[in-house]
Structure 1
Amino acid sequence: MSQWEKNLAELGLTLPPVVVPLAAYVPAVRTGSLVYTSGQLPFVEGRLTSVGKVGAEVSSEEAAQAARLCALNALAAVHDLVGLDAVVRIVKVVGFVASAPGFNEQPVVINGASEFLGQVFGDAGKHARSAVGVAELPRNTPVEVELIVEVR
């Protein structure tokens, strides 16, 4: 068992199946030593775990858990393409937060994804990041996360 698998197991998690794309795109693409994932939503078994705007219908804590699920789904896309054993490091996380007017804790929400990646990959999970507030996201999801990953 690899270290990332042990770390996921300690968190009580396994990689889910790759989420089927909702439109005309693929879940992940490799170019050279980088894998770019498409934006991932917090799906569990085909259903969104929460919907609505953060700071209104969705709390920051609930949104951070959704961001964690987005990151898990992004890892599933990377694993399906190249295998997580090929991961050298997480290079960048881009997180989008559907924000109610006046909500400005986007970094706290995307910490859900960032901290999770650190738990899975240790120092190789440390990354650059953007946390962006937006008016709307697909399917009224509160959070969307994409990754750039360096691989062997």
Structure 2
Amino acid sequence: MALIADMSEPERQSWITLIADVCVFSIFIKSMTSGQFLNGFSVDNNDVAGLVGVYILVIVAAIIIHSIIASIFAMRGKVSGLERDERDIEIERKGARNGFWVVSIAINVVIFQLLVENSLPNGYEPLFSVTSPSHIFFALMATMF
């Protein structure tokens, strides 16, 4: 891994944005689970008001953190005079395309799991359950990260 001083400005922004997204995801995980990962991972059954609160918290935290990062790098870009070239645009385009496929596949896995879970007998124990609103919310929000 390169040192921060050796990175280009878009690369620095990408790494800082990734770290910010991991922080927001950890807030989401902490809000949705009991926090006991050693004894097994389980999603808490929250009511609708709790799910709306978690949703608003995650959205607001992501918007604030990304706005701060974008404004800092916009100011730095004006001072240094750096411009995006065609490689930066191509990397961004490829990342958006790959992200689309990951989210599409993950949402289809959740839909498939929901259909399988509701069509098999009651003795079926799935790897992860998506029958309650909390579990569906967790699965769909986790795919967005």
TM-score (structure 2 length as normaliser): 0.30
Higher helix share: 2
Higher strand share: 1
TM-score (structure 1 length as normaliser): 0.29
Higher CA-based Rg: 2
